[in-house]
Amino acid sequence: MTALLFFYLAAVIVGASLLVVLLRNPIYSTISLLVMFAHVAGLYVLLNAEFIAAVQVVVYAGAILVLYLFVVMLLNVKREERFQRQVIPAVVVAVLLLSEVVLVLFGGRVGGGLAGGPGGGFTAERIQAEGSTAVIGQVLFSTYLYPFEIASLLLLVAMVGAIVLSKKV
């Protein structure tokens, strides 16, 4: 059942990603990215990360994509020629990189290293018992408090930067 669900989600994710790159109209590309984000959230649920799945839907699909749609519709881009002249080098690079990754994976290093000793202590049962949000919150606000503060500063800087950049001069 889990495997079936995984293959459905994976197929839709790959198909929607291809559509993002291949479609001519930017609005359709953005909508298919929305489909892709929703299915990635499903993948997170499958991996026992409910909080991250919710954040994925709220932040990515809710905020970031709406921003993209606003800009695409605001600028009202006419249809244009899709690809630039780098198509052949890009395809070569992509195929080489993908085959390299797959080769390394089937060399059996990734799974083998982890099968020896998972041991963070956060098993799926423990996360389900304590609640995904509570567990992440405890780690985020104790061990990773300093990066959390830096992230809030980063968001402030991005907000000020966006206002300054898009102001009429």
Partner 1 sequence: MVPLSYYVILSAIVFVIGLAGVLIRRNIVIILLSIELMLNAANINFVAFSHYAETIVGQVFVFFVMTVAAAEVTVGLAIVIALYRRRATLNVEELTLLKW
Identify the residue whose tokens are 């052949």: 88
The minimum distance between CB 154 and partner 1, in angstroms, equals 5
Q: How far is the CB of 9 from partner 1 (least distance, A)?
A: 9
Nearer to partner 1, 129 or 161 (CB): 161
CB of 48 to partner 1, least distance (A): 6
45 in Cβ contact with 53 (< 8 Å): yes
Here the contacts of 137-140 (C-beta below 8 Å, separation 24 or greater) are none
Q: Which amino acid is at 53?
A: A
User: What's the closest the beta carbon of residue 43 comes to partner 1, in angstroms?
Assistant: 6
Query: Could you give the CA distance from residue 136 to residue 138 in angstroms, rounded to a whole number?
Result: 6
> Exposed, middle or buried by CB within 10 Å (0-12, 13-18, 19+), for 41?
buried
- The pair of structure tokens assigned to 72 is 């695409």
Alpha carbons 84 and 2: distance in angstroms, whole number = 41
Q: Minimal distance in Å, beta carbon 166 to partner 1?
A: 4
Asked whether the beta carbons of 46 and 5 are under 8 A apart, the reply is yes
Residue whose tokens read 């953005």: 30
